[in-house]
Chain A
Amino acid sequence: MASAKKKKTSNIFFAKGGMDVTFFLLLMTIVTIGLVMLFSASYTYSYYNRNGDSTYIFRRQLLFTLLGLAGMYAISRIRYEYFRLAAVVGVFVSVGLLLLVLVLPEYKPGFKRWINLGFTTFQPSEIAKIGLILILAYLLEKDYKSVTGKVPSDLVFRISNGKITVYQSFTKVILYGLLIIVFAGLVYLENHLSGTVLMLGIGIIMMFLGEVRYKWFVVAGGVILVAVIFLVANPHVLEKYAGERITAWLDKDYDPTGARWQTNNSLYAIGSGGFLGAGLGQSKQKHLYVSEPQNDFIFSIVCEELGFVGASLIILLFALLVYRGIHIGLRANDRFGALLAMGISFQIGIQVALNIAVVSDLIPNTGISLPFFSAGGTSIFILLCEMGMLLSVSRSNKAKE
């Protein structure tokens, strides 16, 4: 399908080429399925919590999706080179918002994740995720040589009066690492364990794609492994909320009406689906058994209604989307575009993987949403804007051809 529109002449601001149709169609398929499933999963919750207004959540989601699609289109038309500017600004915006949310009054008691805008709430971590991707893509492109080559660090050299020679492949990585830790740390302070993990994951993958030497990942992998083992063995060192979730994951009989209620009912829902599922709209577990079935645990309702076959197909769609995102990245004009496209793709990928792992009790219940499925206005809006960035990269690829 060559849908390249060539009527617009070359413009320094607008992207020239047509977007990647394969990616676009995959995305629209997922968004559509996501909306349908959201409707199915949310109408009981809306019914019970919105005085019988079964379509309340769905209507909001639809509205934000449409806004998001508009945003996506607009952003896809911007030449992605301009996103470098956004990368620099983004660091400050992200860190600023992450700090702001810590001092604002809590939207949900005990959690500092949300900023209440009145008409909607949003999570600064959603902004921070793309902020981190942008800045790392920017830096890893800029510092390509110093990261991969043997460039001594001037700073260290000067401070130590030439006595110590440290390569930039070391100092830069430490620097990026600190940046990632700042992002992840701030998210952790929000009492948002999965956001922290996601932040670390995105950071590490970006560095890996940015060709930081393998030995670093061996070290990082070792550290993470030790940390995870330590935390699983001693969940109480984490904040109470996060610690209890690990306990509840380890002990399948722990507090069935409390900490494990959601997970247990999620498993009942998934199991009830069987091979072909109960049929669209036929979930019973969504009747308040799976708490907030439209949010993080929407996939359990998907499994119950569409069965193993439907769930697997959706996972496959996501895998294809990620793969197509990587494909777009690898054909980008430069390393920034490549890292941006792949970063966004893997962000989606990690979120999907972690969400399904949580829902099916493979990892502790940490509160992570399923992209394009879970309810959340700003979330879907930002996600679609990110898709716009990815499509913008794809337009540049096309223009080049």
Chain B
Amino acid sequence: MKKKPTRNMSLRSHIVFAGFCLFLLVLIGNLFWIQIVKGEEYRLKAEKNQLSDTVVNAHRGTIYDSNMKIIAQSASAWLVYINPSKISSEEQKTLLVDGFAELFELDRETLEKKVNRSESGYEKIIGKIDNSQKAQLEEYIKAHKDQKLSMIVGIDPDTKRYYPLGSFASTVVGFTGSEDTGRSGLELQYNTQLTGKSGRIITAKNALAGDMPNDYATTYDATQGYSLQLTLDEVIQYYLEQQLAQAVEETQAKYAYGIVMDIKTGAILGMSTMPDYDLNYPYTISSSRVLEELEKIEDEQKKKEEKLNAQFSQWRNRVISDTYEPGSVFKLFVAAAALEEGIMTPETTYDCSGSIKVANYYQHCFNHKSHGTQTVAQALPNSCNTFFITMGQRMGKEKFMKYFKAFGFTEKTGIDLPSESVPVAGKTYYDVDRMGIAELSSASFGQTFQITPIQMINAVACIGNGGKLMTPYLVSKILDENGNIVSETTPTMKRQVISEGTAKLMAEYMEQVVVWGTAKNAYVAGYHIAGKTGTSEKLNVPGENIASFAGFAPANDPKIAILIAVDEPQGLTTGGAVAAPVAGRIFENVLAYLNIDPQYNDEELAKATVTAPNLVGKEVSKAKLEAAGFTVKVVGGGSTVVSQTPAANQPMPKNGVVVVYTEETAQKETATVPDLTNLTVSEANRIAVNAGFNIKISGTTQSGGEVLSYKQSVAKDTVADQGSVITVYFRSSVNVQD
């Protein structure tokens, strides 16, 4: 019965074994395919599963003003996301949609779409939420513990851009959009430097998203964004903005813009377009006037479009993006060119009859006024059109264009801002080949071509800078996170446009423009202000003007240049009446801020302010002696002075009133502030002193009946302490048209 294994069995077993081996070979072949041929593909897929790649956002750099005051700053915020693949019930979906919609005011429809993407592992819900919002969300998750929302909702660190100064230099600084990238202004221009480089933390995760206990984590540190130190000075910018905002309000102008520039370097100390906007809420329309107009629109679609336009409009940095016909301010460059080229000398005279025939028609001076025989020293303050038409014609178009080009009007200034308007030959100005006598004549007093305000201030600064044309700039230093300097801007001179001699002469003439010419409202007692006004018709808005002033100070040693333009002023419309006073007030503040000591002439000295003497603690008789020259008013029956108005060392007029109190308990003597506007200097002073107040004079005080006060620092009819100092602003209404 027991049979030995047969040969047949041996054969069969080898057949089966061969089949088995064949199968194993197939298996090995398949492994080869998976591991060697497709290995990389599978490895990447595995890594995609295993590795959790967390992006660590780089902190966007800070933007500082020149004094290291923070203008823009990134702060920690939070980003909320969900993992829809972990959602297991309808209740969870409802809770999530309800919660997010309520907490973050998000659109329910969008949220529903997100929670229903069950194949997705990551859906961003909202970014840039602050700590309190985060806390609210955590509270909500906790309140619904039974639904295990914490398995679905994730909160990651994020950053948010804050602008602590709100609207400060908004059109210059710009703001950031989603993903923390710059959308406009410096935020856009320096986006790369500010952004830094995001870091990553790569960790191996197990399938439950926990860290693998013994595995690796690779960290690529985030490189923090660089910070910018601007040339903008908070104080100067503040003066500028304040004055421009006032100008918009007072003149009912559409916009007002201005630039304050360091003449020697080209550094921009202040730059503003009004109305501006709050950088923290760039989409909110800031101008109440624009808002009112928007409200009036009935059609929703139209309203939406107009709102969008209004947003773009308020973001626009008009100083570099808008162009205008400079008008009479441009006569400066014709004069400079003519002097430089020897077309005229300081002695060259021209007899102005009030008009001149060019080609087939007549060009007039303002109001057809005849200026008579003038040298350039008179023609500039008079802003005489015929004089400059003649000089332009004598110069010829080639030379005219040579200087037009040299002063930088055919090129971008190269300021470090985006969207600077590009001059185009044949479009924004006539090039030599297209320029006829009519065009040349009109161009000679600043018409037929368009330039940007930044080009204008740069060219004016060039005159102040001894003929050296600089490249304007806004960023002085780029700093790393530790405050080390990464790069520093060195002022760049573009070219010597006119000789220093010509430049000096021009400065003298320009000072005359302010002293007695069309720019007299820019006058500041104690300072040599050089300037020129202009009034240009807006070609695209008939009947509307841009009133402008450009100048620098001190004329004998120029430090700062200022350009002010008021776009569509109502009522008074000329540069001398509208822009020059604004510039004057800014000069007054900025020059004092820059510690440039005033140098009064005798006439000025008479009206000059002194500082109040310190009388506190002194016997009344002694105090009276010490305050000789002032009118001393004693209140109370005590023998020693316990307090005084104005306080010691406060500026006040030489012959002003000092009220001294001799009793601690004495009530302050008060009085009602009188109306001090529309008065001459002496009238204003008399009325103020009679009412028990001191006045400080600001603006032009050139003798003659045409100087009248137009503004006072303390409104009339308010009750104020006697002896208080009220600033009264004066301006001239005569011969300020150009």
Contacts and interface: CB of A to CB of B under 8 A. Distances in A.
A205 B30 CA distance: 25
B41 A335 contact: no
A28 B10 CA distance: 26
Contact of B49 (A265, A307, A329, A330): A265
A329 B6 CA distance: 11
A326 B21 CA distance: 13
A357 B23 CA distance: 9
A80 interface: no
B5 A335 contact: yes
Contact of B16 (A208, A267, A336, A362): A208
**A interface bracket (residues with beta carbon within 8 Å of B):** 35 or more
B629 interface: no
B9 A209 contact: yes
A116 interface: no
Contacts of A362: 26-27, 30
B486 interface: no
B10 A271 contact: no
Given A209-B16, A308-B31, A319-B20, A338 B207 contact: no
A272 B31 contact: no
Nearest to B208: A288
A360 B45 contact: no
A330 B10 contact: yes
Contact of B13 (A284, A311, A342): A342
A144 B35 contact: no
Nearest to A276: B35
B596 interface: no
B188 interface: no
Contact of B17 (A257, A288, A326): A326
A307 B107 CA distance: 51
Given A315-B27, A360-B34, A362-B27, A273 B12 contact: no
A271 B13 contact: no
Given A268-B46, A272-B43, A274-B39, A319 B21 contact: yes
Contacts of A333: 2, 4
A137 to B, nearest CB: 12
B215 interface: yes
B143 interface: no
Interface class of chain B by DSSP: helix
Nearest to A336: B2
Contact of A274 (B6, B14, B36): B36
Given A267-B42, A315-B27, A360-B31, A329 B5 contact: yes
A13 B32 CA distance: 49
A346 B16 CA distance: 9
B623 interface: no
B204 interface: yes
Interface class of chain A by DSSP: helix
Interface string A196-235: 0000000001001111000000000000000000000000
Contacts of B205: 287
Interface residues of B, number: 47
A136 interface: no
Given A211-B8, A326-B13, A287 B43 contact: no
B246 interface: no
A335 B42 contact: no
B41 to A, nearest CB: 7
Given A209-B16, A353-B23, A48 B5 contact: no
Nearest to A349: B20
B24 interface: yes
A210 B5 CA distance: 10
Contacts of A350: 20
B704 interface: no
A41 interface: no
Contact of A319 (B5, B24, B36, B50): B24
Contact of A272 (B6, B20, B46): B46
B35 A288 contact: no
B296 interface: no
A85 to B, nearest CB: 15
Contacts of B155: none
Nearest to A362: B30
A167 interface: no
B10 A270 contact: no
Contacts of B124: none
A66 B45 CA distance: 39
A273 B2 CA distance: 51
A285 B31 contact: no
A319 B41 CA distance: 30
Contacts of A142: 1
A334 B2 CA distance: 6
Task: Name, among B17, B45, B205, the residue most crowded by chain A CB atoms within 10 Å (CB to CB).
Answer: B17
Nearest to A318: B24
A362 B28 CA distance: 11
Given A284-B50, A287-B204, A335-B2, A271 B34 contact: yes
A208 B206 contact: no
A288 B205 CA distance: 10
B284 interface: no
A48 B4 CA distance: 54
A205 B3 contact: no
A338 B5 contact: yes
A141 interface: yes
A312 B17 contact: no
A241 interface: no
7 contacts: A48-B206, A208-B15, A271-B43, A285-B46, A288-B207, A303-B31, A334-B5
**5 nearest CB pairs, A to B:** A271-B42, A268-B46, A288-B207, A287-B206, A338-B5
Given A274-B39, A330-B9, 14 more contacts: A270-B34, A271-B35, A271-B43, A272-B46, A274-B43, A287-B215, A303-B35, A308-B35, A315-B28, A332-B5, A334-B3, A334-B5, A353-B24, A360-B27
